[in-house]
């Protein structure tokens, strides 16, 4: 089904309310997805057509948008999530999860037309994963939901979007934020090869992993040098800064008008489960952009990388995300 057919109302007919000073200002607004993660631990990832034994299973909270929001909230950001879950037990549990983590649920919608999104995930003994998402209710987040949240988006410090909801909704959220002078982070995951060029123009920090950088630029990213080539191509498309996350190699940061790309290495650790480490990075980066604007993007990325690296040392997605009291004071 085309993206536009999923919309109840064409985006061009959106009537955006005037800004209201009565709206609560959040540090971070995430417009994005919630998924229930169904996680199996296996010795290795199965091949096509193969059945293998796993040795552990659990159900956790995931979805790239919600992961990023929860990580930011655990660091102390005043956060809200614009999203949609089903009228089912996974949806009810998810709303409770937001409340337990201090995330506002003012813009969490529920629908009986689709189930809460789910993500069957397989994690191998090296901590690497393979993920399928069945987005369900996430794809019903629509223009009306965005209109309701418009003043909140306009008055935020940072707005964060990804691609597990309808791309047109993510793009519109970025446009609303960018147009109001709000800092935007866009995480193009899962990546779309022919991404609308407006995504780049409305993004301050474009943050992707090696695979996403490869899909978006055609450059296969297997080294810092490759990431630099891909990063240059992404910068040319119009975003202010590009961050390519490189797993154990840390991150690469490139900014318009700055001479050299910056490779920011990270601590060498034994990864137990890398699922959601990129989301931990994005959530932490949003926290620093909203609350530590005195730091430069290099230092923010270094600290966000340290937090994401910690998340790889425990199992689960949000289950592995550290909270502020568990982190060294020099990160704050
Ligand atoms: O980035 C990790 C996340 O991707 C998981 O939590 C899963 O839900 C999918 O959205």
Tens digits of residue pLDDT in 270-284: 888 899 999 999 999
Pocket test for ligand 1, best of 38, 61, 116, 131 (most atoms within 8 A of CB): 131
64 lines ligand 1 (CB under 6 A): yes
63 lines ligand 1 (CB under 6 A): yes
User: SS3 letters for 100-148?
Assistant: HCCCECCCEEEECCCCCEEEEEEECCCCCEEECCECHHHHHCCHHHHHH
DSSP state of 19: P
pLDDT bracket for residue 22 (50, 70, 90): very low
Q: What is the pLDDT of residue 127?
A: 84
The Cα 121–Cα 130 span in angstroms is 6
- Of ligand 1's atoms, which has the minimum distance to the CA of residue 117? 8
For β-strands 108-111 and 79-86, DSSP reports them as parallel
* Mean pLDDT of the 68-91 span: 98
What's the 202 CA to ligand 1 centre distance in angstroms?
24
Instruction: Tell me the catalytic residues.
Output: 279
pLDDT bracket for residue 24 (50, 70, 90): low
The Cα 332–Cα 320 span in angstroms is 20
Tens digits of residue pLDDT in 226-261: 999 999 999 999 999 999 999 989 999 999 988 689
133 lines ligand 1 (CB under 6 A): yes
């Amino acid at each position: 089904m085309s993206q536009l057919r999923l919309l109840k109302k064409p985006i061009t007919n959106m009537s955006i309310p005037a800004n209201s000073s009565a709206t609560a200002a959040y540090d971070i607004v995430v417009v994005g997805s919630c998924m229930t993660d169904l996680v199996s631990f296996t010795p290795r990832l199965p091949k096509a057509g193969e059945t293998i034994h796993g040795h552990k299973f659990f159900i956790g909270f995931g979805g790239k948008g919600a992961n990023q929001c929860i990580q930011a909230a655990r660091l102390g950001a005043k956060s809200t999530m614009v999203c949609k879950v089903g009228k089912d037990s996974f949806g009810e549990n998810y709303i409770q999860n937001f409340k337990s983590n201090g995330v506002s649920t003012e813009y969490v919608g529920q629908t009986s037309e689709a189930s809460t999104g789910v993500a069957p995930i397989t994690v191998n003994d090296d901590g690497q994963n393979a993920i399928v998402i069945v987005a369900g209710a996430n794809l019903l987040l629509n223009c009306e939901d965005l209109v309701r949240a418009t003043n909140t988006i306009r008055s935020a410090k940072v707005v964060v979007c990804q691609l597990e909801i309808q791309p047109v909704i993510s793009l519109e959220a970025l446009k609303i934020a960018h147009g109001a002078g709000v800092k935007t982070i866009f995480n193009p995951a899962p990546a779309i090869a022919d991404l609308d060029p407006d995504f780049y123009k409305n993004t301050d920090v474009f943050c992707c992993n090696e695979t996403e950088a490869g899909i978006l630029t055609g450059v296969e990213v297997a080294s810092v040098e490759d990431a630099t080539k891909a990063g240059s191509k992404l910068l040319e498309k119009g975003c202010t800064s590009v961050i390519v996350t490189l797993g154990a190699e840390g991150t690469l940061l490139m900014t318009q008008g700055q001479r050299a790309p910056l490779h920011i290495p990270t601590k060498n650790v034994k990864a137990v489960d890398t699922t959601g480490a990129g989301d931990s990075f994005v959530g932490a980066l949003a926290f620093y952009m909203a609350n530590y604007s005195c730091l430069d993007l290099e230092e923010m990325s270094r600290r966000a990388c340290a937090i994401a690296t910690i998340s790889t040392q425990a199992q689960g997605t949000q289950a592995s995300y550290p909270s502020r009291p568990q982190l060294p004071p020099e990160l704050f």
